Amino acid sequence: MIYLHLFLSFLQIGLFSFGGGYAAMPLIQDQVVTLNHWLSMKEFTDLVTISQMTPGPIAINSATFVGIKIAGIPGAVAATFGCILPSCIIVTIIARLYLKYRNMAALQSVLSTLRPAVVALIASAGISILISAFWPEGSIHFGSTNWILVVLFFFCFLLLQKWKANPILVMVLSGILYAGISLLIE
């Protein structure tokens, strides 16, 4: 039965993708292209591109996209449900243990060493986004810098820090400003 098949395939993707985002990509490719032939490699590349252009994690986007293509909306629901079920169970159990035992000395000590690392991980994700925005061609050269985006970045940062602007408004504003400026320059 195709719904069960989709569910089980995406269950594995949900269960074995650690580290989020790009870490899940090879797993998705394995299940969707290599093992089950639900998508061609070309379609898979398109899917990755679309995922980067739309909201949501790539695993959820793939589940919806593949599910609809193979078995319509019910297929998409089955695949998406499979994809999130392992997280729902595992993360809820960890969260429960955390809330219950977080006052223990050992756990306190572990958490106090984890917090600075989490800040660093978030910073590192921000740095990758900055690099891909400022140097779209991949190599970091003074000449290939996208200066409009550099200026927009500092403008947005100022809006957020000084005027406590709504972050989502800032993101949308920077997208619209950039498209407007680029089209005007052409």
Partner 1 sequence: MEKKHKILLKLFISTFYLSAFTFGGGYVIVTLMKKKFVDQYHWIEEEEMLDLVAIAQSAPGAIAVNGAIVVGYKLAGIAGTITAVIATILPPFLVISVISIFYEAFRDNRVVSLVLEGMQAGVAAVIASVVWEMAAGILLEKKWLSIFIMAGALIAASCLSINAVVIILVCIAVGLLKTFMPGRKGDPS
CA distances from 119 to 115, 163, 173, 181 (A): 6, 23, 26, 33
Among 73, 100, 101, 144, binds partner 1 (CB under 8 A): 73
Query: Would you count residue 14 as binding partner 1 (CB under 8 A)?
Result: yes
Taking contact as CB under 8 A, which single stretch among the options 1-9, 34-42, 137-145, 150-158 is the one that binds partner 1?
150-158
Query: Would you count residue 4 as binding partner 1 (CB under 8 A)?
Result: no
Measured from the CB atom, the residue of 49 and 144 that comes closer to partner 1 is 49
For residues 107 to 146, the per-residue mask of contacts with partner 1, x marking binding by CB under 8 A and - elsewhere, is -xxxxxxxxxxxxxxxxxxxxxxx-xx--x----------
Query: Would you count residue 84 as binding partner 1 (CB under 8 A)?
Result: yes
Among 8, 35, 41, 94, binds partner 1 (CB under 8 A): 94
- Joined tokens for residue 122: 């978030």
Query: Would you count residue 26 as binding partner 1 (CB under 8 A)?
Result: no
Q: Is the dihedral of CA 49, 52, 53, 55 positive or negative?
A: positive
Taking contact as CB under 8 A, which single stretch among the options 1-9, 29-37, 76-84, 137-145 is the one that binds partner 1?
76-84
Query: Would you count residue 48 as binding partner 1 (CB under 8 A)?
Result: no
150-181 exposure pattern, b = at least 16 Cβ within 10 A, e = fewer: eebbeebeebeeeeeeeeeebeebbeeebeee
Taking contact as CB under 8 A, which single stretch among the options 1-9, 32-40, 75-83, 137-145 is the one that binds partner 1?
75-83
Q: Distance (Å, rounded) from C-alpha 54 to C-alpha 51?
A: 5
- 83: Cα separation from own chain's centroid: 14
Residue closest to 45 by CA, chosen among 28, 57, 70: 28
CB of 1 to partner 1, least distance (A): 22
